[in-house]
Structure 1
Amino acid sequence: MKEGRSLRGLATELERQLASKKDMIVPVMKMHVSTDAAGQCALVVDEQDSEHAYPVTDFALRQIADKHAIPYAYFERMRLEQPVLFDQNVNTWLHANASVNRLVRTLDGKARAFLTDRYRRIDNWDLANYILPILSRLPGARFESVELTESRMFLKVVTSNVSCEVAPGDVIQAGVIVSNSEIGHGKLRVEPLIYRLVCRNGMIVADRAMRKTHLGRKLISDEDNVVVFQDDTLKAEDHALFLKTRDMVESAVSEVTFRLISAKMQKTMGIKLLGDPVKSVEVLANRFAFNDDESGGVLRHLIEEGDLSGFGLLNAVTGYSQDIADYERATDFEEFGGHILNFEPVDWKAIVMPA
């Protein structure tokens, strides 16, 4: 499993971000984009005291393009090559519907998210403060990996009290991953996690997941002014949501869930790869959009392990995740392992004997 930061490091960064972030409901007529000759784009917001310019992150730029149906390749070409044209285009579409309000989320003085006014804020600070004590009280719990990237928070916990041997000497343990995005890069998710001791691989099993879309009531706004949100705006709704999150954590690490998943893993041991393993990996690469380096990495793990079975292929994918520098992409590969576990016979047929 990909190593992240320490719990103390996570808490320190969450506290720092809490003091540095600001959320605003902004009428579109109270903002515009302004781009310099180098293509650096800022979102200029007319707040009650004066105009404030917030440099726009790459992720928020994508959201601005998406909200105004501007093809991203053209959007970026304008921004980098014709910034005056870029500003004219974006501001024209931005102001086309004067009654629209947007939720703008900022951090460290930068616009990090450009969202609808129905976006449901689920903040990492609030979620962590509620869920970390619950995770720490799981029997035999250990925080195997936690991380806070630019777009998501990840909490991966394993419990040594729920375990079994999938093969002699090959022990797996139950766990859970809680992940969330404050900026619209995915849902709040609670998913079972399987940890294999012999190689420290993690596998996320998404078919039994709770995923909460960040969509709620239309946020209260002032048609003529920018509204800055206070932290207690959605506390009651947060409490109800976090109670459900707690229940899903308990379900994810239950004996029933763990036994169902471990039985599926044991069945993959009987699936033998009869064709060229290179082509078997190519089938996975096409399905999950691996790049060439990723395909080569998975193949290397498969050959080094010497287990040409469905179980070996699953572990080659999750094992390769530890080689990936980017934490979010590494987590993707832990999820791919869970998807492979849930393959139907027709899916395995294409892998076992690829054309």
Structure 2
Amino acid sequence: MKQGRALSEVLTELQRQNAAKQDFIGPAQAFTLRPDGSTFEIVHTNSGQQEVFGTTDLFHRQIGSTLGIPAKYYDQMRKLKPELLAENVNAWFADREQSYMIRSMDYGNGRVARALLSDRYRRIDNMEIASAVLPLFAGQPDMQVMSCEVTENRMYLKIVNKRLELDVVPGDTVQGGVIISNSEVGLGAVSVQPLLYRLVCTNGLVVNDLGERRTHVGRAAKAVEDSFTLYSDEALIAEDKAFMLKIRDITMAAIEETRFGMIVDRLRESTQVKITGRVQDVIELTGKTYGLNQPEQDGILNYLIQGGDLSQYGLSNAITRASQDVESYDRATALEGIGWQVATMPIQQWKEINSK
């Protein structure tokens, strides 16, 4: 399992972000991308109130997606002709009747627009999630936060219950846990999924088809009168409280003993499914199926050979071991989920990958 920062460091960063973030909402006609292609502003049509932001790559990707500008063309304009990009973006915004939410963050050297989202986007922030679930495990010596991180796009909490422990095969022990993740910038729902921690090599496996997801969709948000700044009303506060209680219930259900046993049984089945084709071809076809790039495939091949377990389970473990070498914590966690998908791949799909 890839290690992030210490829990205390992550909580400190979440507190810093809570103080630095600010959300705005307004009509598309009030949005302008400046000719430099990297500065964004909103101007209130009545008061003339203005907010100016720097921009992130994700914010630009969301602008392109919202306005239907193909990503390749958008990137080319942004790199070579930013004034043409601004002209395109502003023309399309001017034709829109919708309102949008802008999520921003003060990074110390100025305010940056980090996400362009629907006005129906439900703000469920990382600190809220952490504050709801971490007390469930506080003071329990068998519960341990094995890894956590807050990246530019997501927060992750990976918690293991050391009392949940079984062998997949003799000597290969796994413990059960849970991963809680969230994106404040529109890149995914609040997600609570079972997690396995393999003691022999500290691999993490995200069970991504047995979890729960809650989307960031709600009622259309409103701004303070004659302003772009969003407000929270009593109804939204009550909804958020009920939502957090539900997240706590889902979190505890994810580490329930019966579910853990069922997950381990599925892994045991994968130990009996052998690789019969040429190993390099199996990894290449797996890479094409699950979007693994060449360096990732090379690492998986290396760990598969080192492990000596030429089975579906062995391939899954090679993927989760290779995830620890990936620089991006986001990508490493995605690979932990791919490891589970490979271990539980439908037999027909396995036959196709294993056919050469």
Query: How far apart are the structure 1 equivalents of 2:307 and 2:206?
Result: 21
Query: How far apart are the structure 1 equivalents of 2:339 and 2:137?
Result: 23
**Within-5 A mapping of 1:144-223:** 144-221=146-223
- Tell me by how many angstroms 1:139 deviates: 6.8
Instruction: Supply the AA of the counterpart residue of 1:313.
Output: L
**Within-5 A mapping of 1:90-169:** 90-97=89-96, 99-108=97-106, 109-136=111-138, 140-169=142-171
Q: CA separation of 1:112/1:231 partners in 2, compared to 1, >3 Å: closer, same or farther?
A: farther
Q: Give CA deviations for 1:78-112 in whole Å, capped at 9, x if unaligned.
A: 12212221111100101102x32110000111000
Q: Give CA deviations for 1:271-301 in whole Å, capped at 9, x if unaligned.
A: 1111211111112101111111111110100
Match of 1:53 in 2: 52
Q: Does 1:78 align with 2:77?
A: yes
Match of 1:14 in 2: 14
Instruction: Supply the AA of the counterpart residue of 2:39.
Output: A
Query: How far apart are the structure 2 equivalents of 1:139 and 1:167?
Result: 27
Other structure's SS at 1:121 match: coil
Other structure's SS at 2:324 match: helix
Equivalent residues of 2:121, 2:217 under 8 A apart: yes
- Tell me by how many angstroms 1:244 deviates: 1.6
**Within-5 A mapping of 1:319-330:** 319-330=321-332
Q: Give CA deviations for 1:278-333 in whole Å, capped at 9, x if unaligned.
A: 11111210111111111111010000101111111110011111111110110011
Equivalent residues of 2:224, 2:230 under 8 A apart: no
Equivalent residues of 2:222, 2:231 under 8 A apart: no
Equivalent residues of 1:138, 1:159 under 8 A apart: no
- Tell me by how many angstroms 1:76 deviates: 1.5
Equivalent residues of 1:162, 1:173 under 8 A apart: yes
Query: How far apart are the structure 2 equivalents of 1:87 and 1:120?
Result: 28
Other structure's SS at 1:5 match: coil
**Within-5 A mapping of 1:254-273:** 254-273=256-275
Query: How far apart are the structure 1 equivalents of 2:163 and 2:224?
Result: 52
Segments of 5+ residues of structure 1 without an aligned counterpart are none
Instruction: Supply the AA of the counterpart residue of 1:12.
Output: T
Equivalent residues of 2:39, 2:53 under 8 A apart: yes
- Tell me by how many angstroms 1:229 deviates: 3.3
Equivalent residues of 1:139, 1:159 under 8 A apart: no
Other structure's SS at 1:165 match: strand
Query: How far apart are the structure 2 equivalents of 1:205 and 1:121?
Result: 26
| Greater alpha carbon shift after TM alignment, 160-169 vs 54-63 | 160-169
Q: CA separation of 1:269/1:141 partners in 2, compared to 1, >3 Å: closer, same or farther?
A: same
**Within-5 A mapping of 1:279-290:** 279-290=281-292
Instruction: Supply the AA of the counterpart residue of 1:102.
Output: Y
Instruction: Supply the AA of the counterpart residue of 1:259.
Output: G
Query: How far apart are the structure 2 equivalents of 1:137 and 1:253?
Result: 17
Match of 1:43 in 2: 40
**Within-5 A mapping of 1:207-246:** 207-221=209-223, 225-229=227-231, 234-246=236-248
Identity %: 39
Query: How far apart are the structure 2 equivalents of 1:261 and 1:304?
Result: 25
Equivalent residues of 1:17, 1:107 under 8 A apart: yes
Instruction: Supply the AA of the counterpart residue of 1:13.
Output: E
Other structure's SS at 1:195 match: strand
Segments of 5+ residues of structure 2 without an aligned counterpart are none
- Tell me by how many angstroms 1:201 deviates: 0.4
Match of 1:64 in 2: 63
Other structure's SS at 2:39 match: strand
TM-score (norm 1): 0.94
Match of 2:88 in 1: 89
Query: How far apart are the structure 1 equivalents of 2:205 and 2:3?
Result: 14
Equivalent residues of 1:27, 1:224 under 8 A apart: no
Instruction: Supply the AA of the counterpart residue of 1:324.
Output: V
TM-score (norm 2): 0.94
* Alignment RMSD: 1.8
Equivalent residues of 1:187, 1:211 under 8 A apart: yes
Query: How far apart are the structure 2 equivalents of 1:120 and 1:9?
Result: 26
Equivalent residues of 1:139, 1:161 under 8 A apart: no
